[in-house]
Amino acid sequence: MDPTALTIHELADLLKAKKITSREVTEHYIKRIAAINPKINAYLTVIEQSALAEAKEADARIGKGQAGRLLGVPLAIKDVICTRGVPTTCGSRILKDYVPPYDAAVIERFKEAGAVILGKTNMDEFAMGSSTESSYFGPTKNPHNTDYVPGGSSGGSAAAVAADLCAGALGSDTGGSIRQPASYCGVVGLKPTYGRVSRYGLVAYASSLDQIGPITKDVTDAALLLSAIAGHDRRDSTSLNIPVPDYAEGLNAGVKGMKVGLPKEYFGQGLDDGVSRRVREAVALLKEGGAEVIDISLPHTEYALASYYIIAPSEASSNLARYDGVRYGFREVHPDDGLIDMFKHTRSAGFGTEVKRRIMLGTYTLSAGYYDAYYKKALQVRRLIREDFDRAFGTVDVIACPAAPTPAYRIGEKVADPLSMYLGDIYTVTANLAGIPGISVPAGMSDAGLPIGLQLLGRPLGETEILAAAYFVEANRTAEMPRPKL
């Protein structure tokens, strides 16, 4: 038996029954990472000794009769989430040597649950990108075909899960950065409702959009991880102080009587024919299961990308001002530098092209004379997009659509054309602008052998409904989802 091929819930059952130890599982993962990671560059940091120590502690807890859904299970963390004593680079030169003195809230919850943390995964620099190509440490490669991107910005986490280099992982989603790489890599990716999971310890890109969520091998695991990390945190002023349900309990609810909306704006020009076919096949499964499929309209969708690419860079311009070479991180100093020159040289050398592009765009849209014309207008459009969803969810329970307009593309194909890459976020940014939950679940493979994801969007705090619908699709799809051969 190869434990690295198992899901979180399968491993948890074996660990609870003492048919395998956490140390044995962890050693299998460490060995597989050593063999496979050089081929795909999913991990930036592997903390072997720490993981083995955590596995030993988990085995001791299991020996004392303790049980838990994550106890002894090896997981990976996107390198934008702070981990005490372990480098947190955000995929950037400017933080390549930064070691946080504290754990993020989600890491605290993992440790309380007894999870084993294997290491930190690669990402687009400061989560800015859709392909994991903007990482200072080199691109991650798609495990299904290493000539292709894994998506981004959580491409390292998605690739690690798809390649069986961890049982599950955490990513962050600002405009689709969990759901799009999950689609490209053939795994499950869940972006929770804004405020459902604490952002304490998440290095900020765009604070009103960022949200941490799970990337897993199946829907059951996504529900388990969400239950573990969700909940109120007084250190995060946007954290919701409401009870957290057991998301795994509702998975078998079925879809009979569920109303599924099909937005016409998500099935128009620019959508790959193969993606459209697989998504419609998945929607047909929901209909066969007793769901009612209803055509709906989200009329302001066409303005979503423009709104997002004003709001997100504007917030990034403010959030990334702290990286100045004074307080922490990389510093570039020339012999005759004064303070201002040191700032300039540090930020010029420490940030990559995509980060500098977005900082400059955000600074421009927030500047005097342009704030009302751009940023304020984008916020008004954001409100209209939220109202579109509010009206839609007055009629339907779940909205079904593609996670991305195409399957994964070749590494290097869009680096010189950032606008083309931005268009790949067209179906995911709306959920972040509206603050609603979304999940990508594998719907099948393209003719070229690349995964395609179905995206399901829910009303605020509607994770239970989208998980149930995703679980039904996963259980009933006929398309084979092959394991990558690496």
Structure token pair of residue 59: 């085995």
Look at residue 435 and tell me if it is in a domain. no
Which candidate, 304, 262, 258, places its Cα nearest to that of 426? 304
Residue 335's pLDDT is 85
Side-chain half-sphere CA neighbours of 119 within 13 A: 23
Element (H, E) at 425: none
Amino acid 142: pLDDT: 98
pLDDT of residue 479: 75
Q: Of the residues 78, 120, 141, 414, which is catalytic?
A: 78
For residue 269, give the amino acid letter: Q
Phi, psi (rounded to 5 degrees) for 369: 95, -15
Does 352 reside within a domain?
no
Please give the structure tokens belonging to residue 378: 């984008």
Q: Tell me whether residue 48 is in a domain.
A: yes
85: left (phi over 0), alpha (psi -120 to 50) or beta: left
Vertex 121 angle, CA 119 and 127, to 5°:
140
Residue 64 lies in a domain: yes
pLDDT attached to residue 370: 87
The H or E element that residue 44 is part of is strand 43-46
Does residue 59 form part of some domain? yes
CA 332 distance to own-chain centroid: 32
Output the pLDDT for position 478. 81
Structure tokens, 194: 């804004």
- Which listed residue (92, 130, 172, 177) is catalytic? 177
CA dist list (Å): 402 to 78, 397, 439, 444: 24, 17, 10, 12
Could you tell me the CATH number of the domain that includes residue 215?
3.90.1300.10
pLDDT at 419: 84
Task: Specify if 376 maps to a domain.
Answer: no
User: What is the residue range of 130's domain?
Assistant: 3-252
Burial of 122 (0-12, 13-18, 19+ CB in 10 A): buried
Pairing of strands 398-402, 259-263: parallel
Question: Residues with Cβ < 8 Å from 163, sequence gap 6 or more?
Answer: 36, 40, 42, 143, 484, 486
Position 207 scores a pLDDT of 97
The reply to whether 207 belongs to the active site is: no
Q: Pick the catalytic residue: 153, 157, 314, 317?
A: 153
pLDDT of residue 468: 98
DSSP state of 188: E
Q: Give the separation between CA 29 and CA 400, rounded to whole angstroms.
A: 35
On whether residue 425 sits in a domain, the answer given is no
Report how far residue 356's alpha carbon sits from residue 372's, in angstroms, rounded to the nearest whole number.
23
Instruction: State the pLDDT at residue 333.
Output: 84
Q: What is the DSSP letter of 248?
A: G
Cβ-based neighbours of 172, under 8 Å, separated by 6 or more: 78, 80, 81, 127, 153, 154, 178, 202, 205, 210, 211, 212, 213
Residue 246 carries which side chain, given as an amino acid letter?
D
What does the pLDDT read at residue 301? 97
State the DSSP string of 63-111.
Answer: HTT---SSTT-EEEEETTB-BTTB---TT-GGGTT---SS--HHHHHHH
- Known catalytic membership, residue 208: no
Domain membership of residue 76 (yes or no) is yes
Measured CA to CA, the distance from residue 87 to residue 389 in angstroms comes to 39
Please give the full DSSP string across 166-179, using - where no structure is assigned.
Answer: SSEEEEEESSSTTH
Per-residue pLDDT of the chain (486 residues; tens, 9 = 90+): 899 999 999 999 999 999 999 999 999 999 999 999 999 999 999 999 999 999 999 999 999 999 899 999 999 999 999 999 999 999 999 999 999 999 999 999 999 999 999 999 999 999 999 999 999 999 999 999 999 999 999 999 999 999 999 999 999 999 999 999 999 999 999 999 999 999 999 999 999 999 999 999 999 999 999 999 999 999 999 999 999 999 999 999 999 999 999 999 999 999 999 999 999 999 999 999 999 999 999 999 999 999 999 999 999 999 999 999 888 888 988 888 888 999 999 999 999 999 999 999 999 999 988 888 999 999 999 999 999 999 999 999 999 999 999 999 999 999 888 888 898 999 999 999 999 999 999 999 999 999 999 999 999 999 999 999 999 999 999 877 898 988
Q: How many domains does the chain have?
A: 1
